[in-house]
C-alpha cells in the first residue's frame, strides 16, 4: 500500500482523521510509555493545583502550558525513538545521537517546567 499524495482528504474530513490519529497516538503512549504515564499524572496534579492555589489567570495558563510542554517533548522524543527503531535496531552512532537529542529535548522541557513552576510558587509564597 502506497501513500497517495494527490488524493489527500481536506476540510472537516481531514480534521476528523487527524483527531483520530492523535487519539490513537495518545492511547498507544498511555499503554506503552511509562514516562508518558508519569506525565499524565503530572498533568492531573497540575490541574488539581491550578484549582486549589490562588493564582492569576496568566499564572494558571503558564503552569498548565509548562506541563503540556513536557508532554509535547516526550511525544517528540518517542516519535524520534520509534523512527530510529523502524530504520534499524542495530547500534549506530547517529541512531544513538538522535535518541540522545530527543532525550535532551525532554530535559530542556523539564527545566522550563521547573523554572515556571518555581517562579510562580515563589512569587505566591513570598
Q: Binding-site residues for a divalent metal cation, please?
A: 33, 81
Question: DSSP states of 31-55 as a string?
Answer: HH-HHHHHHHHHHHHHHHHHHHS--
Catalytic residue among 63, 74, 95, 109: 74
List binding-site positions: 14, 33, 35-39, 60, 74, 81, 90-92, 99-100, 103
Provide the annotated binding site for substrate.
14, 35-39, 60, 74, 103
Closest Cα partner for 116 from 45, 74, 65? Answer: 65
C-alpha span between 43 and 68 (Å, rounded): 7
User: Which residue has cell 498507544?
Assistant: 28
Verify whether residue 74 is a known catalytic residue. yes
Phi-psi region of 53 (alpha: psi -120 to 50; beta: other; left: phi over 0): beta
User: What's the DSSP call for residue 79?
Assistant: H
Binding-site residues for ATP sit at 14, 33, 81, 90-92, 99-100
Cα–chain center distance at 110: 11
Catalytic residue IDs: 74
Amino acid at each position: 500500500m502506497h501513500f497517495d499524495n494527490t488524493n489527500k482528504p481536506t476540510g472537516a474530513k481531514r480534521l476528523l482523521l487527524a483527531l483520530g490519529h492523535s487519539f490513537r497516538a495518545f492511547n498507544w503512549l498511555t499503554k506503552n510509555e511509562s514516562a508518558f504515564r508519569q506525565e499524565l499524572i503530572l498533568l492531573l496534579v497540575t490541574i488539581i493545583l491550578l484549582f486549589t492555589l490562588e493564582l492569576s489567570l496568566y499564572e494558571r495558563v503558564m503552569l498548565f502550558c509548562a506541563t503540556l510542554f513536557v508532554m509535547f517533548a516526550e511525544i517528540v522524543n518517542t516519535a524520534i525513538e520509534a523512527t530510529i527503531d523502524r530504520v534499524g535496531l542495530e547500534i549506530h552512532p547517529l541512531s544513538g545521537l538522535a535518541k540522545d537529542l530527543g532525550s535532551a529535548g525532554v530535559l530542556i522541557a523539564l527545566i522550563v517546567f521547573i523554572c515556571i513552576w518555581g517562579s510562580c510558587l515563589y512569587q505566591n509564597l513570598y
